[in-house]
């Protein structure tokens, strides 16, 4: 018998997302469960939405000379597991079974290098600005699917695991609104309780 969770997934790839495989990943440490989801915000160039620059960045195909801002990030090799666009469309760059390069130097509840045990979810937006209602719906749907598949206990922002270094998704992100759309207590959203 096929469970709903297994039919939603092909290995670590969620069938509801458009796959765009990134070369920027490596293996997770053996025996370490995936217990955390980290929300980020991103736009390239900053404040501009709808183009393909984020996908190009995560797939190492960004034209570094296409915009003056790109000189500041030239050569950056990063990825996330998922990207939620402004219109709610969803892309997946790295299998959830692998370690995406999204958190950088990070720590949560005494455990360093959050990339080892987390799923990285980028949300198209600018830290401090607001996000679209459809993005909250898509993030909630994704979190429900992830929590059926993996033992995810908490959802935090990049700013929570890298305080002082990162500030996304920022003050414009509505954690209480996400909790309302999620309609469940697990995984925990510590920011919604503040």
For the annotated catalytic residues, the residue numbers are 122
As a whole number of angstroms, the distance between CA 6 and CA 12 comes to 10
Interaxial angle between packed helices 175-182 and 133-149, expressed in degrees from 0 to 180 and rounded to the nearest 10: 60
Bridge-based pairing of strands 9-10 and 13-14 is antiparallel
Question: Beta partners for 13?
Answer: 10
Contact status, residue 90 vs residue 83, Cβ threshold 8 Å: yes
- The rounded radius of gyration (Å) of the Cα atoms in the chain is 16
3 state DSSP class of 76: coil
Bridge-based pairing of strands 154-157 and 36-42 is parallel
């Amino acid at each position: 018998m096929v469970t709903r969770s297994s039919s939603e997934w092909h290995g670590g790839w969620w069938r509801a997302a458009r796959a765009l495989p990134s070369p920027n990943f490596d293996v997770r440490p053996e025996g370490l469960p995936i217990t955390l989801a980290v929300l980020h915000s991103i736009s390239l160039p900053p404040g501009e939405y709808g183009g393909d620059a984020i996908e190009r960045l995560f797939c190492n195909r960004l034209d570094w000379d296409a915009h003056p801002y790109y000189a500041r990030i030239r050569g950056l090799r990063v990825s996330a597991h998922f990207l939620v666009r402004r219109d709610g469309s969803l892309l997946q760059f790295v299998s959830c079974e692998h370690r995406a390069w999204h958190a950088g130097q990070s720590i949560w509840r005494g455990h360093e290098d959050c990339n080892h045990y987390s799923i990285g979810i980028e949300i198209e937006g600018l830290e401090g600005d607001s996000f679209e209602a459809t993005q909250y719906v898509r993030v909630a749907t994704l979190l429900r699917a992830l929590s059926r598949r993996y033992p995810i206990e908490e959802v935090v922002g990049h700013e929570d695991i890298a305080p002082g270094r990162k500030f996304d998704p920022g003050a414009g992100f509505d954690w209480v609104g996400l909790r309302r759309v999620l309609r469940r207590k697990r995984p925990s959203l510590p920011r919604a309780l503040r």
